[in-house]
A and B are shown apart, each in its own frame.
Chain A
């Protein structure tokens, strides 16, 4: 069965520094997608970055990059040059490509606070 684990309930980072948010996953499907979403206090889930299980290179989107280690089943999010607006809850999620239900499951989330 699919499972996503985020072991850091809360993280602090100084403004302009980089921070890594951890995510490990478990699946028996060889084809899957990994996602990171940001949820500010307003509640909306904002898509940040995607990594496919067959992608050879780590995904990058602006200040976001995904450190994908397939053998370890980890997909850590790296945010470079943190900004105050990055303070939010961050969720790692996974979707099995050949699932017959389209289920996207989420980890418990990590609260990130950026200090000025």
Chain B
């Protein structure tokens, strides 16, 4: 496996279900990101992890719960979602420095997990 891998690629869930999205990067990067892409809206940054520490939570509802156990893995735990949460969820990673600014490093994206909430 190379690059950034997201599973599952497609997920259909009811509003009372609990599911998780998984992201794994094989690039040796130390920062990971979750983005949400809804129809006709710009990509919205949800969470940023740098060296396993969360550095950004963009006012995301608590029904979305991220987990970053190590620099290679990122999860998005989902529970009691709403139909408006249906979207493409994109994971990305980049190589960053621990301190002194993030630099202008390229984010490498996975193919996304398309979520449908019924």
Q: How large is the interface on B (under 10, 10 to 19, 20 to 34, 35 or more residues)?
A: 20 to 34
**What chain B residues lie within 8 Å of A108 (beta carbons)?**
41-42
| Chain A residues in the interface with B (C-beta under 8 A) | 4, 31-33, 35, 37, 42-47, 50, 52, 91, 95-109
Known: A43-B88, A100-B55, A101-B55. A50 touches B102 (CB 8 A): no
What is the bound-complex CA distance between A32 and B101, given in angstroms?
A: 11
What is the bound-complex CA distance between A115 and B61, given in angstroms?
A: 42
Known: A101-B48, A102-B55. A95 touches B92 (CB 8 A): no
**What chain B residues lie within 8 Å of A37 (beta carbons)?**
109
User: Are A102 and B90 interface neighbours, CB within 8 A?
Assistant: no
Known: A52-B104, A101-B48, A102-B50. A44 touches B42 (CB 8 A): no
Cβ contact of A95, chosen from B50, B88, B104, cutoff 8 A: B104
User: Are B110 and A44 interface neighbours, CB within 8 A?
Assistant: yes
> How far apart are B75's CB and chain A's nearest CB, in angstroms?
19
Within 8 Å of chain A (Cβ to Cβ): is B72?
Answer: no
